[in-house]
Amino acid sequence: MKLKVLKSDITTIKVDVIVNAANTSLLGGGGVDGAIHRKGGSEILEACRKIRATQGKCNPGKAVITTAGNLPTKYVIHTVGPVWNNRGEDKESLLANCYTNALRLAIENDIKTIAFPNISTRIYKFPKKLAAKIAIETVRSFNQEQIEEVIFVCFDEENYNLYDKLLRI
C-alpha cells in the first residue's frame, strides 16, 4: 500500500472514500466534519440519521460508512476521535482504532484508495506530533493488499510537515 501526504482540502480529493473526523452525534459539526456535511449535502446527513436510528451515536474509535452525496468520492467513513484531556494509553489506542476501523470498513466495501484527515488534532486537541505518529504507524501496520493508496490530507502546514517527515522515515 502506497502512503502519501497532501496539503489540501479533503472535500476536494478524488479517491474511493474520504474519512470524516466526526463527532459522536454523526450530525455534522465544525472543522472537517462541518465541511464534509456542507459540501456533501443532505444525502450524507440523511444517511447519518438512519445510522443513528439503528445504532445510536458513534463512540470514539468506532467508524461507520455513508454515501458521499455531492463530494467527488464514492463514500464517506465517519470516525470519532478521542478528546485529549490528559495523556493516556486509552486515548492513543482510541485514535489508532479510528484508523483501523476505517480501514476495515474500506476493505468490506472494496475500497482501493482512501484519504484521512488529521483526526482529533483540532477541536479535540490531540497533540499533532503524537497523532501523526499513531496515524502512520497504524496504517503501516495494517498491511492489507486490497487498499492501494492511503493519503493523509493536511489542512495546515504544521500537520503537513509532521506527516511528510514521518513518511520519509
Q: What is the pLDDT along the chain (169 residues), one digit of tens a residue?
A: 999 999 999 999 999 999 999 999 999 999 999 999 999 999 999 999 999 999 999 999 999 999 999 999 999 999 999 999 876 679 999 999 999 999 999 999 999 999 999 999 999 999 999 999 999 999 999 978 899 999 999 999 999 999 999 999 8
Name the domain count of the chain.
1
CA distance 166 to 169: 5
Q: What is the pTM of this model?
A: 0.97
- What confidence score (pLDDT) does residue 157 get? 97
Lay out the sheet containing 63-67: strands in order across: 2-7, 149-154, 113-116, 17-22, 75-80, 63-67
- What confidence score (pLDDT) does residue 15 get? 98
- What confidence score (pLDDT) does residue 132 get? 98
- What confidence score (pLDDT) does residue 25 get? 96
Catalytic residues: 33
CA distance 63 to 163: 22
Neighbour tally for 147: CB within 10 Å: 20
Q: Which domain holds residue 64?
A: 2-167
Q: Report the CATH number at residue 124.
A: 3.40.220.10
